[in-house]
Chains A and B, each alone.
Chain A
Amino acid sequence: MAGKVKWVTDIEKSVLINNFEKRGWVQVTENEDWNFYWMSVQTIRNVFSVEAGYRLSDDQIVNHFPNHYELTRKDLMVKNIKRYRKELEKEGSPLAEKDENGKYLYLDFVPVTYMLPADYNLFVEEFRKSPSSTWIMKPCGKAQGKGIFLINKLSQIKKWSRDSKTSSFVTQSTKEAYVISLYINNPLLIGGRKFDLRLYVLVSTYRPLRCYMYKLGFCRFCTVKYTPSTSELDNMFVHLTNVAIQKHGEDYNHIHGGKWTVNNLRLYLESTRGKEVTGKLFDEIHWIIVQSLKAVAPVMNNDKHCFECYGYDIIIDDKLKPWLIEVNASPSLTSSTANDRILKYNLINDTLNIAVPNGEIPDCKWNKSPPKEVLGNYEILYDEELAQGDGADRELRSRQGQSLGPRGGRSRDSGRTILTTWK
Chain B
Amino acid sequence: MTLTVLKSTSQGSWEKRILKSLNSMCTELSIPLARKRPVGEQKELLNKWNEMGTDEPDLSLFRPVYAPKDFLEVLINLRNPNYENGDSLSFRTHLGLIQVPLKVKDIPELKEFFVELGLTTGQLGIDDSTQVPPELFENEHVRIGQKVLAEQDSAAAQQYIRQGSPTALRAELWALILNISSQPEDILYYEQLKTNVIQHDLLVDSLIYKDVKLTASNDDYYFVFEDYLYQVLLCFSRDTSVLGHFAYNSASPPKSYIRGKLGLEEYAVFYPPNGVIPFHGFSMYVAPLCFLYHEPSKLYQIFREMYVRFFFRLHSISSHPSGIVSLCLLFETLLQTYLPQLFYHLREIGAQPLRISFKWMVRAFSGYLATDQLLLLWDRILGYNSLEILAVLAAAVFAFRAVNLMEVTSLAAAEAVLADLSTLKVMPLLQIFLFATVT
Contact = CB atoms under 8 A, between A and B. Distances in A.
Interface string B226-238: 1110000000000
B120 interface: no
B166 A339 contact: no
Given A251-B54, A264-B371, A414-B130, A272 B171 contact: yes
Contacts, number: 80
A193 B370 contact: no
B167 interface: yes
B221 A264 contact: yes
Interface stretch (A74-82, A139-147, A174-182, A252-260): A252-260
Contacts of B201: none
User: What secondary structure prevails in chain A residues at the interface with B?
Assistant: loop
Contact of B130 (A193, A251, A260, A410): A410
Nearest to A278: B168
Interface in B169-219: 170-171, 217-219
B290 A407 contact: no
Given A275-B166, A417-B130, A191 B291 contact: no
A234 interface: no
B291 A407 contact: no
Nearest to A265: B224
A267 B168 contact: no
Name the prevailing secondary structure of the B interface residues: helix
B224 A339 contact: no
Interface residues of B, number: 35
B16 interface: no
A183 B217 CA distance: 29
A274 B146 CA distance: 12
Contact of A224 (B54, B220, B223): B54
Given A264-B371, A271-B167, A225 B228 contact: no
Interface residues of A, number: 34
B121 interface: no
B168 A270 contact: yes
Nearest to A270: B167
B219 A272 contact: no
Interface in A214-272: 221, 224-225, 250-251, 253, 255-256, 258, 260-261, 263-264, 267-268, 270-272
Nearest to A274: B168
Nearest to B422: A413
B291 A410 contact: no
Contacts of A256: 218-220, 223
B372 A260 contact: no
A411 interface: yes
A414 B291 contact: no
B292 interface: yes
Contact of B226 (A191, A250, A264, A270): A191
A253 B215 CA distance: 12
Contacts of B341: none
Contacts of A258: 223
Contacts of B373: 413
B224 A191 contact: yes
25 contacts: A190-B224, A192-B50, A192-B51, A193-B224, A224-B51, A225-B51, A256-B219, A258-B223, A260-B221, A263-B372, A264-B371, A267-B291, A267-B371, A271-B168, A272-B291, A272-B292, A272-B294, A339-B220, A410-B134, A412-B372, A413-B370, A414-B129, A414-B130, A415-B130, A416-B130
Interface of A: 190-193, 221, 224-225, 250-251, 253, 255-256, 258, 260-261, 263-264, 267-268, 270-272, 274-275, 339, 407, 410-417
